[in-house]
Amino acid sequence: MGFRPFHRISEGLRRRGVPARVSSLAMVFQRSPLVSLLPEARVISTSGFSEAVKWSVTVIAGLGAYDSATGASQMVQLLPTPGSLVVNAVAGDPLNFVFQTTGTPHIPSSHTTTALPPGLRLTGLVDSTVDSITGIPAQAGTFPVIVTAWELPGPSGDSFSQAFTFEIVNPPVPEVTQSPASGNFAAGALVKISAGHNHGRTFTWTRNGEGLPPQEKVFFSRSGGRKFRTAPASDPGAAWRSGGPFVESTDPNSQTDPAWTTVFGGIGYDVSTTTGGDFTPFIVPSTGNLQSLMFGPPNPPKPVAVHLRMPFKISTAETLSFLTLRVQCDDGFVAWLNGTEIASLNKPATLAWNSAASADILNASPVNFQEIDVSQFLGLLRQGDNLLAVQAMNRATNSPDFLFNCELAGGINATNSPHLVLTDFQPAVAGTYVLTVANPAGSVAAQPATLLVLPAIHSQPESVAIESGATAQLSVTAEGSAPFSYQWYAGASGDTSNPIAGATLPSFTTPPLTGMAVYWVRVTTPAGTADSNAATVTVNASVPDSYVEWKAARFPGEEGGNPEISGPAADPDGDGLTNEQEYIFGTLPLQPETVIALESTVNGNHQIEVAFTAAKASGPGYGGRTRHYAVEITADLTADSWIPLPEAADIAGNDQPVTVVLPQSASRAFCRLKVWLTP
DSSP letter string over 517-561? EEEEEEEEETTEEEEPPPEEEEEETTS--HHHHHHHHHS-GGGGG
Q: Is the pLDDT of residue 52 over 60?
A: no
Q: CA 209, CA 193: separation in Å to the nearest integer?
A: 17
Vertex 609: Cα angle to 608 and 612 (nearest 5): 150
DSSP letter string over 584-611? HHT--TTS---S---EEEE-TTS-EEEE
Q: CA 249, CA 672: separation in Å to the nearest integer?
A: 73
- The predicted pLDDT at position 364 comes to 52
With bands split at pLDDT 50, 70 and 90, how would you rate the model's confidence at 598? confident
With bands split at pLDDT 50, 70 and 90, how would you rate the model's confidence at 607? confident
- The predicted pLDDT at position 563 comes to 84
How many CA atoms lie less than 13 Å away from 416 in the CB half-sphere?
Answer: 23
How many CA atoms lie less than 13 Å away from 614 in the CB half-sphere?
Answer: 24
Across 593-623, b (16+ Cβ under 10 Å) vs e yields eebeeeeeeeeeeeebebebebbbbeeebbe
Displacement of CA 596 from its chain's centroid (Å)? 61
- The predicted pLDDT at position 403 comes to 94
With bands split at pLDDT 50, 70 and 90, how would you rate the model's confidence at 274? low
Whether the bond between 331 and the residue before it is cis, its omega within 30 degrees of 0, is: yes
Per-residue CA distances from 638 to 504, 635, 645, 670 (Å): 11, 9, 19, 11
Q: Could you count the other beta carbons within 10 Å of the beta carbon of residue 266?
A: 21
Please state the length of the chain.
679
Vertex 290: Cα angle to 288 and 292 (nearest 5): 135
State what percent of residues in the chain have pLDDT above 90: 49
Displacement of CA 297 from its chain's centroid (Å)? 46
- The predicted pLDDT at position 11 comes to 32
pLDDT digits (tens, 9 = 90+) for 197-256: 998 888 999 999 998 888 888 999 999 999 999 999 889 999 999 999 998 888 877 777
With bands split at pLDDT 50, 70 and 90, how would you rate the model's confidence at 366? confident
**DSSP-derived 3-state class of residue 547:** helix
Displacement of CA 239 from its chain's centroid (Å)? 24
Q: CA 298, CA 148: separation in Å to the nearest integer?
A: 38
Least reliable range by pLDDT among 7-16, 341-350, 552-561: 7-16
With bands split at pLDDT 50, 70 and 90, how would you rate the model's confidence at 592? confident
* Amino acid symbol at 410: G
**DSSP-derived 3-state class of residue 347:** coil
- Over residues 311-318, the mean pLDDT reads 84
Per-residue CA distances from 83 to 66, 104, 137, 248, 450 (Å): 21, 18, 21, 51, 50
- The predicted pLDDT at position 155 comes to 64
Q: CA 100, CA 431: separation in Å to the nearest integer?
A: 53
Burial of 156 (0-12, 13-18, 19+ CB in 10 A): middle
Closest CA to 41 of 33, 513, 553: 33
Q: CA 158, CA 532: separation in Å to the nearest integer?
A: 84
- The predicted pLDDT at position 542 comes to 45
Q: CA 25, CA 39: separation in Å to the nearest integer?
A: 13
Q: Are 499 and 522 in contact (CB under 8 A)?
A: no
pLDDT digits (tens, 9 = 90+) for 168-212: 998 899 999 999 999 999 998 989 999 999 988 889 999 999 988
Q: Is the pLDDT of residue 33 over 70?
A: no
Q: Is the pLDDT of residue 130 over 90?
A: yes
Q: Are 503 and 478 in contact (CB under 8 A)?
A: no
**DSSP-derived 3-state class of residue 75:** strand
Q: Could you count the other beta carbons within 10 Å of the beta carbon of residue 481?
A: 22
Per-residue CA distances from 572 to 560, 567, 569, 585, 669 (Å): 12, 9, 10, 16, 34
**DSSP-derived 3-state class of residue 262:** strand
pLDDT, averaged across the chain? 83
Q: Is the pLDDT of residue 447 over 80?
A: yes
Q: Is the pLDDT of residue 62 over 60?
A: no
Q: Is the pLDDT of residue 12 over 50?
A: no
Q: Are 279 and 329 in contact (CB under 8 A)?
A: no
Partners of 443 in the β-ladder: 438
With bands split at pLDDT 50, 70 and 90, how would you rate the model's confidence at 415? low
With bands split at pLDDT 50, 70 and 90, how would you rate the model's confidence at 486? very high
Q: CA 186, CA 476: separation in Å to the nearest integer?
A: 19
Element at 581 (helix H, strand E): helix 579-585
- The predicted pLDDT at position 277 comes to 66
Strands 626-634, 528-531: parallel, antiparallel or unpaired by DSSP? unpaired
Least reliable range by pLDDT among 394-398, 404-408, 544-548: 544-548
- Over residues 442-446, the mean pLDDT reads 95
Q: Is the pLDDT of residue 639 over 70?
A: no
Burial of 148 (0-12, 13-18, 19+ CB in 10 A): middle
**DSSP-derived 3-state class of residue 37:** helix
**DSSP-derived 3-state class of residue 373:** strand
Contacts of 578 (CB under 8 A, 6+ apart): 568, 569, 570, 571
